[in-house]
């Protein structure tokens, strides 16, 4: 296991008899902050950070030794994958169908082209092999067609947050707040019984600016937006969330999509997929399912919040208007 750049080391405090530990890492290409309270806080934190580091070894698209890169190199043959790999791929394949293609784990080759930070030609884009029908997963046996490149960038942090939740429960941690980049998991509220306050990023501001705050005791809050990663060419902004149908950055009328729910993998998948769908289809999707809550930030600066979360959300950004989705 290679732990990547531990930015700030463990801070162990005794608050009454509750031990608190707070750590920060750079893992899975993002800054992660873990705050845990409980007798077992130190052990739980270690298990948690070890688990996330191990998952990075599975899902990293850039580490030449990762399981993902190894599997992609073997495209065209049949391979055995780990339980974690199979479990996340299975969820992603199901999501591809469920989102009518808005979410696609086979976009790897297209993502690589856009990651060069220059606009690829239509020919380069059309040459990429994409499509979940070229992937067959049975248990942990995987068969992909030649040229298929898997990428879990839109779901792996959510999967890691589900694994983190399990570790907190196994270790009897009563209160914790974990931030895996744009993926937050709130566990048991604050030690004083109040909910955790989780900021919602202002897409018009810098990384430290919020447009609002959500009070949450237990659950996942996962955000995707066009501000996270992008490059500019000829005065146009090319962000990192792609519409699989046209293989270019999604021309969404949304700037940001936040999913609040009880499952990290699903939240991560949906935050990306509903961003791609755009406002109308995202609302339609929510009305059909209603097993999660969402906060959408539209390009006209309307903040649209589903009814189940509206009383827990406070809008602070002055240039925004608030509406409730029913």
Of residues 78 and 126, the one with the C-beta less far from ligand AMP? 126
Q: Is 154 in the site for Mg ion (CB under 5 A)?
A: yes
Residues 6+ apart with CB under 8 A from 213: 197, 198, 199, 200, 313, 314, 316
Of residues 107 and 186, the one with the C-beta less far from ligand AMP? 107
Residue nearest Mg ion, CB atom distance: 272
State both tokens at 2: 């290679």
Q: Pick from 75, 88, 107, 148 the residue near ligand AMP by CB under 6 A.
A: 107
Binding mask 143-182 for ligand AMP (x = CB under 6 A): --------x-xx----------------------------
For residue 263, the minimal CB distance to Mg ion (Å) is 13
Q: Is 268 in the site for Mg ion (CB under 5 A)?
A: yes
85 binds, among ligand AMP, Mg ion, none (CB under 5 to 8 A by kind): none
DSSP string covering 190-218: -TTSPPEEEEEE-TTS-TT-EEEEEEESS
Question: In whole angstroms, what is the distance from residue 60 CA to residue 80 CA?
Answer: 18
Residues 6+ apart with CB under 8 A from 296: 254, 256, 257, 258, 274, 279, 282, 283, 303, 304, 305, 325
Of residues 150 and 173, the one with the C-beta less far from Mg ion? 150
153 binds, among Mg ion, ligand AMP, none (CB under 5 to 8 A by kind): ligand AMP
Q: Is 271 in the site for Mg ion (CB under 5 A)?
A: yes
DSSP string covering 141-160: EEEE-TT-B---TTTHHHHH
Question: In whole angstroms, what is the distance from residue 35 CA to residue 283 CA?
Answer: 33
Q: Is 132 in the site for ligand AMP (CB under 6 A)?
A: no
Question: In whole angstroms, what is the distance from residue 135 CA to residue 116 CA?
Answer: 26
Q: Pick from 124, 145, 228, 299 the residue near ligand AMP by CB under 6 A.
A: 228
Q: Which residues bind ligand AMP (CB under 6 A)?
A: 103-105, 107, 111, 151, 153-154, 224, 228-229, 240-242, 244, 268, 271-272, 276
């Amino acid at each position: 296991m290679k732990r990547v750049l531990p930015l700030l080391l463990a801070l162990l405090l005794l608050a009454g008899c509750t031990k608190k530990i707070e750590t920060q890492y750079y893992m899975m290409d993002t800054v992660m902050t873990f705050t845990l309270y409980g007798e077992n806080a130190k052990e739980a934190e270690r298990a948690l950070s070890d688990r996330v580091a191990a998952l990075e070894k599975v899902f990293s698209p850039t580490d030449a030794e990762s399981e993902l890169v190894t599997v992609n190199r073997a495209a065209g043959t049949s391979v055995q994958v780990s339980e974690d790999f199979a479990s996340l791929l299975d969820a992603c394949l199901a999501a591809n169908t469920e989102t009518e293609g808005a979410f696609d784990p086979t976009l790897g080759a297209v993502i690589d082209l856009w990651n060069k930070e220059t606009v690829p030609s239509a020919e380069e884009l059309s040459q990429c092999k994409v499509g979940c029908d070229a992937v067959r997963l049975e248990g942990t046996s995987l068969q992909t067609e030649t040229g298929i490149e898997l990428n879990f960038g839109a779901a792996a942090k959510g999967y890691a947050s589900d694994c983190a939740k399990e570790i907190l429960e196994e270790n009897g941690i009563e209160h914790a707040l974990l931030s895996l980049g744009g993926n937050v998991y709130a566990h048991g509220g604050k030690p004083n019984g109040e909910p955790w306050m989780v900021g919602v990023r202002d897409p018009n501001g810098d990384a430290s600016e919020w447009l609002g705050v959500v009070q949450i005791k237990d659950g996942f809050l996962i955000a995707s937006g066009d501000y996270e990663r992008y490059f500019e060419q000829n005065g146009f902004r090319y962000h990192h969330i792609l519409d699989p149908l046209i293989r270019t950055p999604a021309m969404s009328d949304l700037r940001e999509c936040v999913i609040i729910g009880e499952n990290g993998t699903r939240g991560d998948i949906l935050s990306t997929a509903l961003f791609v769908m755009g406002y109308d289809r995202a609302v339609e999707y929510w009305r059909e399912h209603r097993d999660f809550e969402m906060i959408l930030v539209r390009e006209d600066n309307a903040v649209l919040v589903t009814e189940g979360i509206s009383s827990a959300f406070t809008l602070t950004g002055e240039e925004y208007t608030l509406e409730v989705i029913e």
